[in-house]
Amino acid sequence: MDIKKFLHNKMAVIGGIITIIMVLSAIFAPMLTSYGPLDMVISDRLKAPSAAHIFGTDTFGRDLFSRVLYGARVSIGVGFSVSILTMILGMTVGLYASYYKWLDNLLMRVCEGLKAIPATLLAIALMAMLGASTKNVIISLVIVSIPDIARISRSSALLTKEQTYIEAMYALGAKPNRIIWKNIMPNVISPVIVQTTYIFASAIIVEAALSFLGVGVPAPEPSWGNILSEGKTVIYNSWWMIVFPGIYMALTVLGLNMFGDGVRDLMDPTSH
Amino acid sequence: MKKYIIKRILYIIPVFFVISVVVFLLIHLTPGDPARIILGDRATEAKVLELRETMGLNKPIVVQYVDWICGFFKGDWGQSVFMKGTMQEILLEHIKPTVSLSIYALLLALIFSIPLGTIAAKHRGSMADHAISVFSMFGISIPSFLMGLLLVLLMAVKLNILPSSGYKPIESGLLLHIKYLTLPAISLGLMEAGLITRMTRSALLEVLNADYIKMAKAKGVHPFVLTFKHAFRNALLPIITVIGYSFIDLLSGAVVVESIFNIPGVGQLIINSIVRRDYQVIQAIVLVIAIMNVVINLLVDLIYGIADPRVRLDK
């Protein structure tokens, strides 16, 4: 990828910067705030933003700024784990489906079936059955997102497979695994990475929705969905409980989407 | 065309099979014995055994699947542990508000996004185009439930124009029905509006760059006629597809939005069922919405086939 061209794309650069700031603030949360996300001070409950608590406090008197920062760890952590796992598993499915015809039919039918169930709904149903926990959120979201990556990597892999050099590799007697991972995979990776940034963003949204509904990351642990869900109960007198975590989440998703769009435009010459 | 329709319908069978297996297996994902979990810790062993028997949990898993799917086709969609009436009655009662909300949200999204997308494509690179891109980017990045909360905060708490919670069925008057659904529909429709705006823009841009449009322009066709008569018709196909997919997105997105605005739809039903561990209701909801999705996709493909002969002649 051409770095100069990338820097020229304002959207992608701004998106990338926003994403990096969000990730850094999550990583360095303990240095940015002196309050713990679980420290309760009952006498300080539902205090409006002030110098002591810049985002205010929640229903248990916990510092909201600290909860939003630590919530970023949970939410971005879930998004990151989901996107990496989905990328690896989805690409494996897509690559093998493209290489073996008998497998193609089977795997693609399974993906289509999974895709037919709306992602949020399937994730809610999976969480209802598996029980609320961070690990289960990741499992559900990976299951829901695999078909997207599988489809994209399969279609690029099918195009690559037709190339003469792959035929030559085959004729030379290269093992299928070698052809798949060493020769086909590098041609598939760029569209997969673009799609992965979108999955990152949507995983953050769906995780927040699940936690908001009470079937995601279980309570005292902060996640943006949890904080918002608590905020809903006090919406009439504590606006800060909605506005701050909301802006934080929307900015993160916005950053990821802008970055994804920018990278996609870079890789696709027809969009210029 | 006939061949295309038959091929497309046959294609549904494996998809339906996978959906049914996934939905069937859902209940077996519960940690431990589903019957014990449904009845809770205090239930006697005899009660649990009885429920295992009525749910058929003692049979081999393949037999259970066959029983379940045959039952489904015969109209036995399972039994709610908590609610009276057949599953169909329960679902029908709850799906009305959800469908109403989804249609309203889709209409709102279309009213804004098609003109915006058209303007952006016609004036590519202008200030208006950039402003519209920013709008759609924000639309895509703000999850519906966050938008809902912000709207409640803004409208109900500060402005007090529209009701921020509750639901009035269509029988109590269309206007009242719409009034109560407006905030939920805006929060739900915003993301779709962003998506459809982008889709309209890119679909129209692609067509506007086509040779036949340049030709028409060179012949002196009026720009208005050019956009709406010559270009828009061809750009419509991808837009129809997006609308088809959007509707299902909206249906499942409604599940989350309903919980903010206290609408007694499928969303509330599913959340209540999770709390009550009423797993068969959850299974039925997922199955029905997935089937609706498959049918809508089929319809979109068929419309596509009618509108564009290249689609049905392909392969």
Task: Say if residue B108 is in the same domain as residue B249.
Answer: yes
Residue B160's φ and ψ, nearest 5 degrees, are 60, 45
**More confident call, A19 vs B237:** A19
pLDDT computed for residue A146 by the predictor: 92
Dihedral of alpha carbons A106, A121, A23, A265, sign:
positive
By residue range, what is the domain housing residue B180?
Answer: 93-275
Task: Say if residue B135 is in the same domain as residue B235.
Answer: yes
Q: What is the mean pLDDT of residues B99-109?
A: 91
Across the interface, do B141 and A239 touch by the CB < 8 Å criterion?
no
The band of B238, judged by pLDDT with boundaries at 50, 70 and 90, is: confident
pLDDT at B199 over 60: yes
Q: What's the rounded Cα separation, in Å, for the pair A106 and A103?
A: 5
B223/chain A closest Cα distance in angstroms? 24
Q: What is the mean pLDDT of residues B16-24?
A: 89
Q: Give the domains, in start order, of chain A with CATH numbers.
A: 3-27+64-267 (1.10.3720.10)
**Which residues of chain A have a CB within 8 Å of the CB of B26?**
125-126, 129
Q: What percent of chain B has pLDDT over 70?
A: 97
Give a yes or no: residue B48 inside a domain.
yes
Give a yes or no: residue B14 inside a domain.
yes
Q: What's the rounded Cα separation, in Å, for the pair B137 and A261?
A: 10
Is the Cβ–Cβ distance between B108 and B314 less than 8 Å?
no
Which residue from B22, B140, B256 is facing A209, i.e. has the nearest CB? B256
Task: Say if residue B212 is in the same domain as residue B250.
Answer: yes
Which residue from A129, A231, A242 is facing B26, i.e. has the nearest CB? A129
Task: Say if residue B56 is in the same domain as residue B102.
Answer: no
Structure tokens given for A123 = 């994730």
Q: Which of B21, B23, B29 to mutate to test the interface with A (most CBs of A within 10 A)?
A: B29
**More confident call, B276 vs A19:** A19
The band of A268, judged by pLDDT with boundaries at 50, 70 and 90, is: low
pLDDT digits (tens, 9 = 90+) for B165-196: 777 787 777 887 888 888 899 999 998 899 88
Question: What is this model's ipTM?
Answer: 0.84
Task: Say if residue B204 is in the same domain as residue B264.
Answer: yes
pLDDT computed for residue A6 by the predictor: 73
pLDDT digits (tens, 9 = 90+) for A155-211: 888 888 888 888 888 888 888 888 888 888 888 888 888 889 889 988 999 999 999
What's the domain count of chain B? 2
**Looking at chain A from residue 182 to 211, which residues have their Cβ under 8 Å from any Cβ of chain B?**
201, 205, 208-209
Task: Say if residue B111 is in the same domain as residue B181.
Answer: yes
**More confident call, B291 vs B158:** B291
Task: Say if residue B250 is in the same domain as residue B135.
Answer: yes
pLDDT computed for residue A93 by the predictor: 92
Task: Say if residue B63 is in the same domain as residue B11.
Answer: yes
B85-104 exposure pattern, b = at least 16 Cβ within 10 A, e = fewer:
eebeebbeebbebbbbbbeb
In angstroms, the Cα distances linking A32 to A35, A78, A202, A257, B159 are 9, 21, 27, 26, 36
Q: Does A121 reach chain B within 8 Å, measured CB to CB?
A: yes
Give a yes or no: residue B22 inside a domain.
yes
Task: Say if residue B182 is in the same domain as residue B60.
Answer: no
Is the Cβ–Cβ distance between A130 and B279 less than 8 Å?
no
Task: Say if residue B115 is in the same domain as residue B256.
Answer: yes
Q: Does A20 reach chain B within 8 Å, measured CB to CB?
A: no
Q: Who's near A149: CB < 8 A, 6+ residues apart?
A: A86, A87, A89, A90, A91, A93, A94, A192, A195, A196, A199
Give a yes or no: residue B306 inside a domain.
no
pLDDT computed for residue B315 by the predictor: 47
Task: Say if residue B233 is in the same domain as residue B138.
Answer: yes
**Which residues of chain B have a CB within 8 Å of the CB of A215?**
274
Structure tokens given for B222 = 């009026």
Q: What is the pTM of this model?
A: 0.86
Q: What percent of chain A has pLDDT over 70?
A: 97
pLDDT computed for residue B154 by the predictor: 84
Domain CATH code at residue B149: 1.10.3720.10
pLDDT computed for residue B202 by the predictor: 85
pLDDT at A216 over 90: no
Q: What is the dihedral of CA A182, A183, A184, A189, to 10 degrees?
A: 60
Give a yes or no: residue B305 inside a domain.
no
A126/chain B closest Cα distance in angstroms? 7
Task: Say if residue B102 is in the same domain as residue B245.
Answer: yes
